[in-house]
């Protein structure tokens, strides 16, 4: 995912979901009236969520909001879009699953700030295969007593559409690594237990870890198609002359998987809605022990 401008034009559903999450959950965080806190946004993407949704929610005493992303294109776009808010708002390129975090720009920044008081992450952690290292890194980036609010996708009919397309002989050559683009919790029978177990092993107190169904209806079929395809990592592998066919096949599979998903989620959702996007999210609020346990 390295098309910042296109992503920022197609992420209405993600913005809606982050707005709701911040409205419902941000009040649980404890802010110190004395300290000028430092805040991190993991996997900030093009920065519209960081700058337009997260920043206005932070107390004015926050001295630094750092967005980071593994994609250089995203970070370049984010920095260029927010020069007026620098240096209070700044952006860095680092993989949250880096094995040598202290040697990265984010590690250096955390050292300079003496750790972050709060970490947020929206729609990013399901892209990270190495969950243990990324959670260990989030833990080490936080100060003792620091808190994190995390939202990521556990399940989606889109993942089942990837698998169906991978099993189609026409498309399998372009989708060999489909599993790498599916949430690590997609096949879990108990994502809450799996995720909270790793969090506790890394030294977090888990205040809340909750699944939530999310549904968003795009105004038009074209909007739905654009936003779905901007996230599709396989389209760039497909030869130009086959792209339209691929998109049409993918959208058909996605609609089919949506119908199955809707019937599992709720009987009220059985009515077909072609422009609806469905996700199952995990929303988590954790706190780092005052004592380091690692
Ligand atoms: C769907 S976007 C979400 C962006 C933004 N948080 C939002 O809510 O709109 C996911 C972002 O996570 C980033 N990402 C994926 N893997 C990452 C990793 N290992 N470390 C840091 N960022 C990562 C991607 O580059 C992408 O910009």
Residue nearest to atom 1 of ligand 1 (CA): 123
Task: Tell me the per-residue pLDDT of 214-260, one tens digit each, with 9 for 90 and over.
Answer: 999 999 998 898 888 887 889 989 999 999 999 999 999 999 999 88
* Nearest atom (ligand 1) to Cα of 96: 20
CATH number at residue 147: 3.40.50.150
User: Does the Cβ of 40 fall within 6 Å of ligand 1?
Assistant: no
Q: Is residue 294 part of a domain?
A: no
The structural domain count of the chain equals 1
Whether 190 maps to a domain, the answer reads: yes
pLDDT at 145 > cutoff 90: yes
User: pTM for the full model?
Assistant: 0.94
Boundaries of domain holding 98: 4-288
Q: Is residue 92 part of a domain?
A: yes
Whether residue 123 has its Cβ less than 6 Å from ligand 1: yes
Q: Are 246 and 171 in contact (CB under 8 A)?
A: yes
Ligand 1, residue 18: give the atom nearest the CA: 8
- The residue whose CA is least distant from atom 15 of ligand 1 is 127
Q: Rounded to the nearest whole angstrom, what is the distance from the C-alpha of residue 169 to the centroid of ligand 1?
A: 30
Residue 240 within any structural domain of the chain: yes
**Measured from the CB, is residue 101 less than 6 Å from ligand 1?**
no
Per-residue pLDDT tens digits for 75-103: 999 999 999 999 999 999 999 999 999 99
Q: Residue 293 domain-assigned? A: no
| Cα→Cα distances 9→3, 6, 46, 227, 250, Å | 10, 5, 10, 8, 21
Calculate how far, in angstroms, residue 43's C-alpha sits from the geometric centre of ligand 1: 4
257-270 average pLDDT score: 74
Q: Which of 122, 140, 135 is nearest to 200 (CA)?
A: 135
Nearest residue (CA) to ligand 1, atom 13: 43
């Amino acid at each position: 995912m390295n098309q910042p401008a296109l992503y920022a034009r197609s992420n209405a559903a993600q913005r809606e979901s982050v707005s709701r999450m911040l409205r419902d959950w941000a009040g649980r965080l404890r802010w110190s009236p004395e300290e000028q806190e430092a805040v991190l946004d993991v996997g900030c993407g093009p920065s519209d969520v960081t700058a337009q949704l997260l920043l206005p929610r932070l107390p004015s005493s926050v001295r630094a909001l750092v967005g980071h992303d593994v994609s250089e294109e995203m970070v370049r776009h984010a920095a260029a879009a927010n020069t007026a808010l620098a240096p209070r708002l700044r952006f860095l390129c680092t993989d949250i699953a880096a094995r040598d975090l202290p040697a990265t720009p984010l590690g250096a920044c955390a050292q300079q700030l003496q750790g972050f008081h709060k970490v947020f992450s929206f729609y990013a952690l399901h892209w990270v295969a190495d969950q243990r290292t990324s959670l260990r890194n989030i833990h080490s980036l936080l100060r003792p007593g620091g808190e994190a609010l995390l939202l990521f996708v556990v399940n989606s009919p889109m993942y089942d559409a990837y698998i169906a397309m991978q099993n189609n002989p026409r498309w399998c050559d372009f989708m060999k690594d489909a599993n790498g683009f599916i949430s690590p919790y997609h096949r879990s029978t108990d994502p809450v237990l799996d995720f909270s177990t790793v969090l506790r092993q890394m030294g977090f107190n888990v205040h809340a870890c909750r699944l939530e169904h999310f549904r968003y209806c795009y105004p038009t079929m074209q909007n739905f198609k654009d936003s779905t395809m901007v996230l599709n990592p396989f389209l760039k592998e497909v030869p130009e002359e086959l792209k339209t066919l691929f998109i049409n096949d993918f959208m058909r599979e996605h609609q089919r998987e949506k119908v199955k998903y809707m019937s599992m989620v709720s009987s009220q959702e059985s009515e077909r809605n072609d422009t609806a996007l469905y996700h199952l999210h995990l929303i988590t609020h954790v706190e780092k022990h005052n004592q380091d346990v690692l």
